[in-house]
Amino acid sequence: MILNVQNLSVTFRSKGGVVYALKNICFSLEKGDVLALAGESGSGKSTVANALVGLVPWEQGGTYELFGEKINPYQKKSFSIVRSKMQMAFQDPYSSLNPRNTVMEIVTAPLLARGISKNEATKKAKRMLDLVGLSNADVHKFPHAFSGGQRQRIGLARALVLEPKILICDEITSALDVSVQAQILHLINDLQNELELSLIFISHDIDVMEMIANKVLRLSNGEVEVD
């Protein structure tokens, strides 16, 4: 088991009152798994992803183990271990791609931030951009020059350049045309084999999940739905 989450619960407090976004979510991941996280809009899928990478606080108990290591989800510091093993790709990578940076700058940035030399970072970025299907000519362009599908490729390269073992994809094909969706799903499949990734694939589209997943966790109102 590479990931084991037990009783993850998340509560949001806002002016409107308290939202119990997640209640006692339990799941695990084996190496090579593609776990589909399914459920209607608002069911809590993104909150699971955000809790796994430390973007929202775990509130009422819950335990978290990653590659046999106990993570303390109540301690910000312990998420540095998580980030070395797990990365995320989003529905709208454009909003998180700095428009003033070239593709090469975008993909090398996470490596440079971790103290890797520019030479080494450029090498790693080139390999990853090649794997996601971007050409050498693309690397000096800016994000606005690309289509939605190509931007997903840039977002994937940026997440994967850190060599995570687990990739979380949060609705990465949801804004794309059907034909482009299929290309990105094929790419995900190739990347999974090439990089020996395990995946948590979030989608509200049943067809997409059936194409890609070997396990499904269905959420409804912040709880795991039992068939």
Contact residues: ligand ADP, CB under 6 A:
12, 14, 19, 21, 39, 41-47
**Nearest alpha carbon to residue 57 among 29, 79, 88, 40:** 79
How big is the site for Mg ion, counted in residues (CB under 5 A)? Answer: 2
Letters for 7-46 (x = contact with Mg ion by CB under 5 A, - = none) are: --------------------------------------xx
Write down the least CB distance from residue 75 to Mg ion, Å: 26
Write down the least CB distance from residue 186 to ligand ADP, Å: 24
Provide the Cα torsion 84, 160, 45, 16; round to 10°: 70
Q: Does the protein bind Mg ion through residue 198 (CB under 5 A)?
A: no
Taking the least distance from each CB to Mg ion, the nearer of 38 and 156 is 38
Taking the least distance from each CB to Mg ion, the nearer of 3 and 219 is 219
Residue 41 binds what, of Mg ion, ligand ADP, none (CB under 5 to 8 Å, by partner type)? ligand ADP
Write down the least CB distance from residue 221 to ligand ADP, Å: 8
Q: Residue 9: count other Cβ atoms within 10 Å of its Cβ.
A: 17
Taking the least distance from each CB to ligand ADP, the nearer of 44 and 164 is 44
Write down the least CB distance from residue 42 to ligand ADP, Å: 4
Q: Of how many residues is the chain composed?
A: 227
**Nearest alpha carbon to residue 90 among 179, 155, 177, 187:** 155
Q: Does the protein bind Mg ion through residue 173 (CB under 5 A)?
A: no
Write down the least CB distance from residue 171 to Mg ion, Å: 6
Write down the least CB distance from residue 49 to ligand ADP, Å: 8
Taking the least distance from each CB to ligand ADP, the nearer of 43 and 87 is 43
**Where along the sequence are the contacts to Mg ion (CB under 5 A)?**
45-46
